[in-house]
Amino acid sequence: MTAEPDHNAQQPERTVISVDAMGGDAGAAAVVAGIYKSARKNPDIGFILHGPRSELERLVSRRKILQGRVEIRDAPNVVSMEDKPSYVMRHGEGTSMWSALESVRNGEATVAVSCGNTGALMALSMIRLRKLPGVDRPAIAVLWPSRNPQGFNVMLDVGADIRADAPDLLQYAMMGASYARNGMGLKRPRIGLLNVGTEQHKGRPELKAAHDMIASQAKSANFDFVGFVEGSDIPGDLADVIVTDGFTGNVAIKTGEGTASLIGELLREAFRYSPLSRLASVLAITSLQRLRKRIDPRRVNGGVFLGLNGTVVKSHGGADATGVSAAVKLAFQLAQSGFSKKLAERVASTASVTQDAETQPVSPQND
Amino acid sequence: MTAEPDHNAQQPERTVISVDAMGGDAGAAAVVAGIYKSARKNPDIGFILHGPRSELERLVSRRKILQGRVEIRDAPNVVSMEDKPSYVMRHGEGTSMWSALESVRNGEATVAVSCGNTGALMALSMIRLRKLPGVDRPAIAVLWPSRNPQGFNVMLDVGADIRADAPDLLQYAMMGASYARNGMGLKRPRIGLLNVGTEQHKGRPELKAAHDMIASQAKSANFDFVGFVEGSDIPGDLADVIVTDGFTGNVAIKTGEGTASLIGELLREAFRYSPLSRLASVLAITSLQRLRKRIDPRRVNGGVFLGLNGTVVKSHGGADATGVSAAVKLAFQLAQSGFSKKLAERVASTASVTQDAETQPVSPQND
């Protein structure tokens, strides 16, 4: 896709992504720069862009490639990072975030992207898109740099809900497997349940119950269950999907991010230490850039809200054009694979299991 | 302490550490090499060394500096890494681990060091040393590389118990503060309570209750309570002591360790990539070694069991001489500062608070 096709030709098969232009730290300019980046690379994406019309028209009109591929929806208000979710739920109408979800709600798009306030976005998504039948607790899934062949693991939940009982954890396993299949192209993802040890007798009672429920569904739901995994397996190669409650998952990713960022700082310090080390850093710059790219959070930018009627990709609040473009790419993959619909079917097929805590087999499906 | 004093002179004021010579991956040789390292650096340490007498006598006799400073206690059996804690509790007598704890139990030493099986060591410590009056759940505290002036944070509990209610978390705060004062020399440690956000309304109910209990004790117990902290603050500079339950703490440290180890691997890969990057790595070698030393887990080797009648330093199972020596150094600091006794007094003074969930002030003490 290096050749530049005529992006302005009518392409009725374009996959439309609903994008909240506001609410990120860098404002609408970064978002428009991000969708421009995506549009250049991929002629099959179209956009519905939500925010103040005049500002968006000005930004979009500067990028020729975006002409005819972006539909602007005027939304004068913005959800700020400081707004309380409860406030946004009551007064969020008229914001770009609300409007972006509306396009998913009314079926114009199956996936929405926003860089805004996570708590508000989850709260609005819950009331506007509503939970899938059979899902008690939606989850946020993130990608995490790992030793896997694909370079990343999926982990969920990382903070949609601080609680999760055994049926919730089973749902996370099903949703995570579906996400790994549709978002990462893994035919038969390996699912691990996060615990403090790998022995079957370890951990909290709900983990032991979830272990058995997930194990019983593995065959029919077409994933491999590797059993309990530990924190060290999150960046490892034992599982493709790490299932945990939102409290533990949130602490784990923030600890991992903080550790990575501390090491990065210390590495820069180490290379500034002496003239010799500064010379070394110049020689090593491409190697170091390669490493940085490998673990760059912008490349895996996009927590995904799962368990709703429609899919929401939450991009990092501080996302620049590269970050927004990565989130759009993920949204496109999910939209094109029909992920939202497949996930709904998958969850419906196991709803009886999670509600009755029984182990009724479901028909194997590749979704 | 660079000059070499006469180590064999009678020094009745020597601080005696009880050391389990067996159970580590590298066997008694690494442990004896480790105590040799410590003995050379610090003339004030004496040792009681537990394990098979003939093997230990052979190893100790090779190191002149250890003559007259090591008392060997014959313990023919070894707790292996595979032994179940429940088995060791019933059949552990005669093992070097049991014997090492016995020296603390009978008052010959106030701190024991072991590289053995963590679960077995905690189980044996619980039944042989017993919990301090007022402590419901002992905790394991570790040091974690951070942006703090001292270079490390204390985190507890990292796996002694997967549960912790609000009074337990208060005890962890008190014990962690005491440890930071006596093990790290911080006069007024800053305590943070791990949560998924820093707002007061966030998190599980027991965290909100613990927040108020810890806040009410901060002044009288002579620490600063910085409130809720997040996973990113574990390697940060907001707090010196991170308080959490053993499930979350265990997942967090393993995630952090795994992430650090993945980055290390990728860094080595990056430097092997091309002739230029290999040259760069040669030039940068001292800088990289400095970084490695800064985050070397062997330097912070030693989880500490808190809340027992006596203190147990758990060294890494794979510890080499450097790792054992670091654990011995920590044990020495704690023993010399009278930590075990101070901690017992501190816990006793707050036992009424934790048992009644009331907020009775205790007299300020620097322990």
pLDDT, one tens digit for every residue, chain B (367 residues): 444 444 444 445 799 999 999 988 889 999 999 999 999 999 999 999 999 999 999 999 999 999 999 999 999 999 998 899 999 999 999 999 999 999 999 999 999 999 998 889 999 999 999 999 889 999 999 988 899 998 889 999 998 899 999 999 999 999 999 999 988 889 999 999 999 987 777 788 999 999 999 999 999 889 999 999 999 999 999 999 999 999 999 999 999 888 888 888 888 887 787 787 788 777 777 777 777 777 665 556 678 999 999 999 999 888 899 989 999 999 999 999 999 888 888 888 776 554 444 344 444 444 5
**In Å, how far is A187's CA from the nearest CA of chain B?**
25
User: Is the pLDDT confidence value at A201 over 50?
Assistant: yes
Partner residue opposite A287 with nearest CB, options B261, B277, B291: B277
What are the angstrom distances between the C-alpha of A132 and each of A13, A342, B238?
Answer: 27, 12, 40
Q: Which residue of B has its CA nearest to A280?
A: B280
Q: What was the pLDDT predicted at A358? A: 38
B244 touching chain A per CB within 8 A: yes
Cβ atoms of A247 and B248 closer than 8 Å: yes
Cβ atoms of A351 and A307 closer than 8 Å: no
Q: Which amino acid is at A90?
A: R
Higher pLDDT: B183 or A310? It is A310
Q: Could you tell me which of A3, A334, A13, A19 has the C-alpha nearest to residue A178? A: A334
CB contact under 8 A, B276 and A283: yes
CB contact under 8 A, B194 and A251: yes
Q: Where are the alpha helices (DSSP H) in chain A?
A: 27-41, 53-61, 85-91, 96-105, 118-129, 166-184, 205-217, 246-272, 275-283, 285-294, 321-336, 339-356
Residues of chain B positioned with their CB less than 8 A from the CB of A269: 291
- Strand-pair partners of B17: B47
Partner residue opposite B284 with nearest CB, options A234, A256, A277: A277
Q: What was the pLDDT predicted at B187? A: 93
Partner residue opposite B284 with nearest CB, options A203, A204, A281: A281
DSSP state of B17: E
Residues A197, A198, A203, CA angle at the centre, nearest 5°? Answer: 50
**In Å, how far is B236's CA from the nearest CA of chain A?**
7
Residues 317-336 on A with a CB inside 8 Å of B are none
Partner residue opposite B294 with nearest CB, options A266, A277, A294: A266
Q: What was the pLDDT predicted at A68? A: 93
**In Å, how far is A131's CA from the nearest CA of chain B?**
22
Higher pLDDT: A222 or A366? It is A222
- Describe the crossing of helices A246-272 and A275-283 by its angle, rounded to 10 degrees: 120
DSSP state of B132: P
CB contact under 8 A, B270 and A291: yes
**Which residues lie closer than 8 Å to A88 by C-beta, 6 or more apart?**
A79, A95, A97, A117, A120, A123, A124
User: Is the pLDDT confidence value at A4 over 70?
Assistant: no
Q: What was the pLDDT predicted at B361? A: 40
Phi-psi region of A94 (alpha: psi -120 to 50; beta: other; left: phi over 0): left
B258 touching chain A per CB within 8 A: yes
Partner residue opposite B258 with nearest CB, options A235, A250, A291: A235
Residue listed under structure tokens 């940085």: A292
- Mean pLDDT (whole number) for A43-64: 96
Over the stretch A159-195, which tens digit does the pLDDT of each residue have? Answer: 889 999 999 999 999 999 999 998 888 999 999 999 9
Residue among B157, B232, B255 with most chain A CBs within 10 A, to mutate: B255
Residues of chain B positioned with their CB less than 8 A from the CB of A260: 259-260, 263
Partner residue opposite A258 with nearest CB, options B234, B247, B279: B234
B279 touching chain A per CB within 8 A: yes
- Strand-pair partners of A20: A50
**In Å, how far is B46's CA from the nearest CA of chain A?**
36
* Cα distance between residue B155 and residue B158, in whole Å: 7
**In Å, how far is B25's CA from the nearest CA of chain A?**
19
Cβ atoms of A350 and A324 closer than 8 Å: no
ipTM value for the complex: 0.84
* Cα distance between residue A163 and residue A347, in whole Å: 19
* Cα distance between residue B167 and residue A109, in whole Å: 50
Q: Could you tell me which of A21, A170, A42 has the C-alpha nearest to residue A97? A: A21
* Cα distance between residue A133 and residue A144, in whole Å: 28
CB contact under 8 A, A159 and B196: yes
**In Å, how far is A118's CA from the nearest CA of chain B?**
12
Residues 125-164 on B with a CB inside 8 Å of A are 145-147, 159, 162-163
Percent of chain A with pLDDT over 70: 90
**Which residues lie closer than 8 Å to A169 by C-beta, 6 or more apart?**
A193, A206, A207, A210, A213, A214, A243, A244, A245
Q: What was the pLDDT predicted at A301? A: 64
The helix (H) or strand (E) run that includes residue B49 is strand B45-51
Mode of pairing for the β-strands spanning A139-145 and A152-156? antiparallel
pTM surpassing 0.90?
Answer: no
**Which residues lie closer than 8 Å to A4 by C-beta, 6 or more apart?**
A40
